[in-house]
Structure 1
Amino acid sequence: MNDHSLIIGLESRLLNAWPSFDYQLYDGWVLRLANGYSKRANSATPFRPDIGLDDELLDYMIGRFVEANVRPTFRLNGVEAPQVDELLKERGFKEIEPTHVLTVPIKAGDCESDPEVSLEPQASKRWVRAAAESYGGDKADDETLMRIVSRIRQKTAYATLSLDERPVAWGLGVVERGYVGLYDIVVAPDLRGIGLGRRVVASLIAWGCREGAHTAYLQVREENEIARALYGTLGFETAYRYTHRVMPGRSSSV
Structure 2
Amino acid sequence: MQAAMSPSLPALARLAEEAGLNASTPPQQQRVAGWLIRLSPGKAKRSRCVNALEQGELPLHELLQRCATAFAAAGLPLCVRVTPFSQPADLDAQLAALGWSSFDPAEVMVRARLDDLPAKDLTPGCRVEPLEAEAYAALVGALRGSSAAEIEAHAQRLRESPVPYRGHALRDAAGTLLACGQFAREGVMVGLYDIFTPAEQRGRGHAHQLCLALLAAAREEGARHAYLQVGSDNAVAQRVYGRLGFEFAYRYHYRSPLAELR
Which TM-score band applies after superposition, normalised by the shorter structure?
0.7 to 0.9
Relative distance call for 1:197 and 1:137 in structure 2 (3 A) is same
Moved more, 53-62 or 227-236: 53-62
Q: 1:84 aligns with which of 91, 114, 120?
A: 91
Percent of aligned positions that are identical: 26
Q: 2:219 aligns with which of 209, 214, 235?
A: 209
Does 2:200 align with 1:194?
no
Relative distance call for 1:175 and 1:144 in structure 2 (3 A) is same
Taking the aligned partners of 2:26 and 2:93, their CA distance within structure 1 comes to 27
Moved more, 214-223 or 34-43: 34-43
Moved more, 204-213 or 131-140: 131-140
The equivalent of 1:183 in structure 2 is 193
Moved more, 178-187 or 105-114: 105-114
Does 2:45 align with 1:35?
no
CA shift at 1:178, angstroms?
0.4
Secondary structure of residue in 1 paired with 2:245: coil
Deviation per CA, 1:103-122: give whole Å up to 9, x if none: 013343538555534253x6
Taking the aligned partners of 1:155 and 1:3, their CA distance within structure 2 comes to 26
Does 2:81 align with 1:75?
yes
* Residue type of the alignment partner of 1:27: A
CA shift at 1:45, angstroms?
0.9
CA shift at 1:100, angstroms?
0.7
CA shift at 1:48, angstroms?
3.7
Q: 1:55 aligns with which of 61, 65, 88?
A: 61
The equivalent of 1:174 in structure 2 is 184
Relative distance call for 1:27 and 1:189 in structure 2 (3 A) is same
Taking the aligned partners of 1:177 and 1:232, their CA distance within structure 2 comes to 24
Taking the aligned partners of 2:58 and 2:215, their CA distance within structure 1 comes to 36
The equivalent of 2:51 in structure 1 is 45
Secondary structure of residue in 2 paired with 1:170: strand
| Structure with more contact order per residue of length (Cα contacts < 8 Å, sep ≥ 6) | 2
Counterpart mapping for 1:213-232 below 5 A: 213-232=223-242
The answer on whether the counterparts of 2:33 and 2:58 sit within 8 Å (CA) in structure 1 is no
Q: TM-score, normalising length from structure 2?
A: 0.85
Does 2:107 align with 1:97?
no
The answer on whether the counterparts of 1:49 and 1:79 sit within 8 Å (CA) in structure 2 is no
Q: TM-score, normalising length from structure 1?
A: 0.87
Moved more, 164-173 or 201-210: 164-173
Question: How large is the Cα RMSD of the aligned pairs?
Answer: 2.7
Taking the aligned partners of 2:56 and 2:10, their CA distance within structure 1 comes to 9
The answer on whether the counterparts of 2:115 and 2:224 sit within 8 Å (CA) in structure 1 is no
Count of residues paired in the alignment: 251
Relative distance call for 1:203 and 1:49 in structure 2 (3 A) is farther
The answer on whether the counterparts of 2:26 and 2:161 sit within 8 Å (CA) in structure 1 is no
Secondary structure of residue in 2 paired with 1:34: coil
The answer on whether the counterparts of 1:36 and 1:70 sit within 8 Å (CA) in structure 2 is no
Taking the aligned partners of 1:231 and 1:6, their CA distance within structure 2 comes to 17
CA shift at 1:57, angstroms?
1.1
